[in-house]
A and B are shown apart, each in its own frame.
Chain A
Amino acid sequence: MGKIEIDPLRWKEEVLKKYPKKVAKKRDKGILVHDGEMPKQIMANVRSIPGIITARGCTYAGCKGVVLGPTRDIINLVHGPIGCSFYAWLTRRNQTLPPTPESENFMNYCFSTDMQDSNIVFGGELKLKQAVREVFEIFKPKSIGIFSTCPVGLIGDDVHAVAREMKEELGINIFGFSCEGYKGVSQSAGHHIANNTLMKHVIGRNDTAPEGKYKINMLGEYNIGGDAFELERIFEKCGLTLVSSFSGNSTIEQFERAHTADLNVIMCHRSINYVAEMMETKFGIPWFKVNFIGADASAKSLRRIAEYFEDAELMARVEEVIAEEMAIVKEAIETVYPRTTGKVAMLFVGGSRAHHYQELFSELGMSTLSAGYEFGHRDDYEGRRVIPTIQVDADSRNIEVLTIEADETRYRPRKTDEEIAALNAKGCGFGEYDGMMADMAKGALIIDDISHYEMEKLIEIYHPDIFCAGIKEKYCVQKMGIPLKQLHSYDYGGPYAGFEGAVNFYNDIDMMINTSIWKMIKAPWQVEPVIEAEYGV
C-alpha cells in the first residue's frame, strides 16, 4: 500500500472544522506543521479542553505515581478517598532492585487514609495523623511522604502542618506534597511539586560521598521496564559511579547525598530540568542533557560524560565499552533493518519520550511523520532558548518557585567558567536543550496534547505503520488495524534504554510491524477509499 501525499496543513484544516469555534481557535495553536527552519511557537502546557478526551493525567499522578513512585524506601501515604491511591498502585511498571531480600521496599504497597464522608465534612487531619503513626509503627520507615488529593485542598486539611508535627513526634523525615489533582495542567505540575519537595526536604542531608572517581547523578530516568538497570550496567562497565538516580531504582538515602556527585545528566528534560538548575546554583554541579534512547545516542552521551571528566583513562574505557556493545547492536540491526526501513511512525507520549524515541526509529530506517507530547512545555518542543518568553499563567503560578542560593558549606563549583567554556567548545552543551522540533523533518505534524479525535483522524488519513502512545490509546488504534507500541509501559517489555535496550526495541518493533495478524485485519481505508478521494491532492 503506497502512502498518499496529503498536505498536513489540509489535514489540520479538516480537523479543526469539527470543533466549535473557540475550541478550534485554541487547538489551532497546539498543532503545527514544521517548516524545517527555526521552530515556530507552539501552544503547550495549557489546560485541556473539557469534553475533549485527553490522555493527560493529574497533578497527583505526576507527583505520587511518577516521581516518588519508583523510590523504594519511602512510605507514600495518600491522603484522600480510596480511588487515587488504588489507581496509582504499581501501575507505572517502574522497577526496583533492593540489594537484599530484607532491604526496605514499600513499592508493592498502596497506603491510603481512605477518606469517608465524615472526613470530608469534619476534616481529615486527625485520621491522617493516626495513619502516619500506624505506618510508622508497623514499617518503621526512614521517611514518609504525604500526598494530597483533590478534596484535601478544598476542605483545608494542612498536610504540611501534620507532616511537621509528625516529624517531631516520630523523629523521622516526614514531608507533605500539595499535589491536589486540579492544581495543574497535567502530571507535569505534579513532577514539579514533587521535585521541589525533594529539593527542600531531602537533597543535601547526607554529606558522605560514595567511593568512586567519576561520580554522576542521573536525572529524569524512571526505570520503566528496567531501563535504569541497563544504564547502571553500562555505567559500571565504564567505571562511572552513579550516586543517585531521580528516581528509577532509587532510595531516599541516594537522594540525600545526590549533592556529592560531580555531574548531573538529564534524560527527561520535562520532569526535572529545574532540579538540575537548582542543584547547580546550590551545590555547583554542572548539568547537561543526555539521551540513552538509541544506540548511537547512548554512545554519544557516554562520550560527553567522559569528555566532562577530562580523563584519558575514562575516555579510553568508554571507547572500549562502546566498541564492544555496538558490535552486538550492529548485528541486531542488520537482521531487522530490511524489514523496518521506510516505515512510518507517529509518537504521542511523555514530555521527552516522543523526542527520544525518534532516535531509535531512525536507527531502524523509519521516519517520524507526526509527534507530540502529552504534558510537555514549549521548551521541550522549541528548545530552552524560549524559556524566558514563556507566559506565566494561573496554573503555573500554582507551583511554588523556590529561591535557591549557594549552600554555605556545600557549594563547590566543579569546573571554572573557563573549563566550562572549553568543554562547551568540545560539544558538552551545558544547560542546553534544543527541543524536539529541531530534530524533525520538514512537513512533520507537531501536535501538543493530541485529543482522541485528532488521533483517529491522523491514523485515518496517514495510515502510519506504527503508532506510539499508551494503554488508553492502544485498543482504539489497533481496532483500526495499526499496531500501537505502548511507550509509557513498553507493552510490559523493555528495557529499551542503552545498548541492550536498543536491541530489544529493534526486535519488538520488527515483531509488531511484521506480525502476521495485521494481514487478517482490513483497515477501514482498505475497505472504503472514500476519505482518500476527499483529501487527495
Chain B
Amino acid sequence: MDIAVKEGPESFSSLRNACKLCSPLGASVVFKGIEGCIPMIHGSQGCATYIRRYLISHYKEPVDIASSNFSEETTIFGGHKNFNNGLDNIIKQYHPGVIGISSACLSETIGEDINMLIKEYEASNKDTDLPVLIHASTPGYQGTHIDGFHDTVTASVAVLAEENQSGTHINIFPGFVSPEDIRHLKDILDSFGFDYVLFPDYSDSLDNPNWSEYHLIPPGGTPVADLRRTGSASASIEFGYVLNEGTTNSRIKKNKQSFTAAKWLEKNRNVSANRLGLPIGIRETDRFFELLKKLSGKETDRKYTMERGRLIDSYVDGHKYLFGKRAIVYGDEDLVIGTVLFLLEIGIEPVLIASGGVGESLKPILDRLTEGKTKDIPVMNNMDFESINEKSDALKPDILIGSSKGYYVARRLGIPIVRTGFPVHDRFGAQRLQHVGYKGTQQLFDRIVNALIEHKQEDSAVGYKYM
C-alpha cells in the first residue's frame, strides 16, 4: 500500500454525510418480517414518518408504522397514556397478531419503562384476546440501524421462544438482506429438506405481488408459532461476525451485554449457535453449504453445485475486466466483510473499507478472515461519506461498492458505483437485488463486471460495440 490513511472521522466531532441510519429503522424492518405485525415507534411521530418514507422508497411497498405521537406534555408527564391509546387504536383498526414496539430517542431519554407499560396494558386488558406485544429498546443514539435490527431479532426471540423438547428443525437468522436474498435462502433450505424457521422473513411483506383484495397488513412474515419454535430448534445459523456489537460498544455502561438471537438461544434454550459470514463469494457460500450438509446429512442439490460451477467459470471469463481494479467498499459491517472476501476472490483490490458502524472489530475480523491480506488496507468503522470522499482521490479507485448514498463520491470521481445493501434510492428493484449464495454472488459479479465494462465503453473515443 502506497497510501497510509490513518485518521477516521473520529478526529471530527461531527459527522458529514453519515454512513449509518438510526436503530428504530432496523427494528421496523424486523417487525415487518413477523406475520401479522404492525410496528409502533414509541416517541415523536416524525420518527415513524421518516422511517416509513425511507423504507417505502427502497422497497416500493406499503409500510405502515404507527407512532405514539408524543407531544410536549407527553415528554414531561410520560408516554403511558399515548402508549395505551396507540395500542387501542392499532388493535381496533388493524386487528394485528403482533404489535412490535420500538423506542425512540425521546422515550429513551425520559426513561420510559416500556416493558412495564406492556405489563400494565396486558393486565388492564386481561379479558380480551390481545395481540402479542414485543418490545425492542432502540435509542437512536446507541449503535446504528444494524444494531437496532439485530437487537430486535433478539428481543422478538426472547419474548417468544418456548422451552420445549428439542425438535429437528433449525433456526436461521440471515440479518439485513434483501427480500430476494431471503427467497433464495429459503429455496436452498428447502432443497436440503429442512424444517426451518427463518427470521425475520420480510420476503413477501416488503415485496408483495399485486393483490386482488386489499390487505391492511401485507401478507407474509415469520409466523408467531414459528418464533415460539425457535426455542426448541436443533441448531441456529446466524450470518454475520460483527452483528450488534455496536449496541454494547456505544453504551456508557458497557457491562450490559447485547446478545444476538442465536447466542441468546444458545445460552437460554440450549440451541447450538452456528455463526457464519454472509454467504457472498465462493468461500463463504461453501462454508454455508458445508454446514447445511452437516446439519441435514444430505448432499448439495445438483442445482447448486451447477450454480457454483457457473460462478467459478464466470470468475475466469470475467477476470480480464476485473483483475487489479481498485474498489472502495462501504456499508453495514457484515455486508462489507462479505463483499471484501468476495472481491479478494475475484482479484479486485479493496483500497478503502469503510463502515458507519460503531463496533470495533471490523478490522481484526477482516484481518483474521483474510489471513492478513487486509492488514495494510485502511479499514475504518464510524466513517462518514465526506471522509471517504476526501480520501478517495489519493486512493485512485476504479469502482465504489455500497449503498446509493455514496453516489456523489462516484460522480465526483467519474467512476462507476455498484449499489448493494440499504438504502438504494436511486435505482429500481432494490428489493430484488441479490447478494447471497452462489446465485446472489453471480448477480453481484455480473453487475460489477458490467459496470466496469460500461465505464470503459463510455470512456472510449472509438465507441467499441465489442468489449
Contact = CB atoms under 8 A, between A and B. Distances in A.
A50 B88 CA distance: 9
Interface in B84-135: 85-90, 92-93, 104-106, 109-110
B88 A20 contact: yes
Interface stretch (B13-21, B259-267, B313-321): B13-21
B208 A479 contact: yes
A49 to B, nearest CB: 6
Contacts of A131: 12-14
B44 interface: yes
Interface stretch (A161-169, A257-265, A470-478): A470-478
Given A57-B45, A60-B46, A77-B14, A154 B53 contact: no
A218 interface: no
Contacts of A151: 105-106, 109, 141
A87 B15 CA distance: 14
A480 to B, nearest CB: 5
A121 B52 CA distance: 29
A77 B16 CA distance: 9
Interface stretch (A110-118, A377-385, A408-416, A440-448): A110-118
B69 A50 contact: yes
Interface string A45-60: 0011111111111111
Given A20-B89, A475-B56, A528-B213, A135 B44 contact: no
Interface in A80-137: 80-89, 91, 108-121, 127, 130-131, 134-135
Contacts of B140: 80-84
Contact of B106 (A77, A110, A114, A182): A182
Interface stretch (B72-80, B287-295, B300-308, B335-343): B72-80
A80 B43 CA distance: 15
A87 B54 contact: yes
A56 B49 CA distance: 7
B56 A474 contact: yes
B22 A82 contact: yes
Interface string B55-84: 011001111111111111111000000110
Contact of B51 (A87, A118, A153): A87
Interface string A519-536: 001101001100000000
Nearest to A394: B73
A54 B53 CA distance: 12
B45 A48 contact: yes
Contacts of B106: 150-151, 154, 181-182
A522 to B, nearest CB: 6
A82 B105 contact: no
B46 A480 contact: no
Nearest to A185: B71
B85 A150 contact: no
Nearest to A108: B408
Contacts of B14: 77, 111-114, 127, 130-131, 134-135
B50 interface: yes
Interface centre among A57, A114, A116, A528 (most CB of B within 10 A): A114
B69 A49 contact: yes
Contacts of A48: 45, 69
A521 B40 CA distance: 31
Contacts of A471: 53, 56-57
Interface residues of A, number: 79
Nearest to B91: A51
Nearest to B44: A181
B20 A57 contact: no
A51 B176 CA distance: 26
B216 interface: yes
B212 interface: yes
Given A61-B49, A471-B57, A475-B61, A112 B252 contact: no
Contacts of B381: none
Interface in B12-38: 12-18, 20-22, 24-25
B251 interface: yes
B214 A57 contact: no
A195 interface: no
Contact of B88 (A51, A57, A86, A475): A51
Given A82-B15, A111-B15, A181-B44, A51 B85 contact: yes
A182 B75 contact: yes
Interface centre among A83, A113, A524 (most CB of B within 10 A): A83
Contact of B105 (A57, A86, A91, A150): A150
Nearest to A49: B89
B144 interface: yes
Interface in A385-399: 394-395, 398
A479 B210 contact: yes
Contacts of A479: 62, 208, 210-211, 214
B85 A395 contact: no
B250 A116 contact: yes
B90 A120 contact: no
Interface string B351-367: 00000000000000000
Nearest to B76: A154
Contacts of B62: 475-476, 479
B93 A527 contact: no
A83 B145 CA distance: 9
B42 to A, nearest CB: 9
A149 interface: yes
Interface in B264-278: none
B386 interface: yes
B18 A114 contact: yes
B17 A395 contact: no
B46 A111 contact: no
B235 interface: no
B3 to A, nearest CB: 21
A118 B56 CA distance: 32
B322 interface: no
A471 B62 CA distance: 9
Interface in B221-257: 250-252
Nearest to B48: A53
A524 B214 CA distance: 7
Interface of A: 18-20, 23, 47-61, 77, 80-89, 91, 108-121, 127, 130-131, 134-135, 149-151, 153-155, 181-183, 394-395, 398, 452-453, 456, 460, 470-472, 474-476, 479-480, 521-522, 524, 527-528
17 contacts: A20-B92, A47-B69, A50-B85, A56-B49, A58-B46, A83-B22, A117-B141, A130-B13, A131-B13, A134-B13, A150-B106, A181-B106, A453-B93, A471-B57, A472-B53, A475-B60, A524-B212
Given A51-B67, A456-B216, A479-B62, 17 more contacts: A50-B66, A51-B68, A61-B50, A83-B25, A87-B21, A89-B17, A91-B53, A114-B14, A116-B142, A135-B14, A149-B105, A150-B70, A150-B75, A154-B75, A182-B71, A453-B216, A475-B61
The 3 tightest CB contacts between A and B, nearest first, are A58-B46, A83-B22, A51-B89
Interface of B: 12-18, 20-22, 24-25, 40, 43-54, 56-57, 60-75, 82-83, 85-90, 92-93, 104-106, 109-110, 139-142, 144, 208, 210-214, 216, 250-252, 386, 405, 408
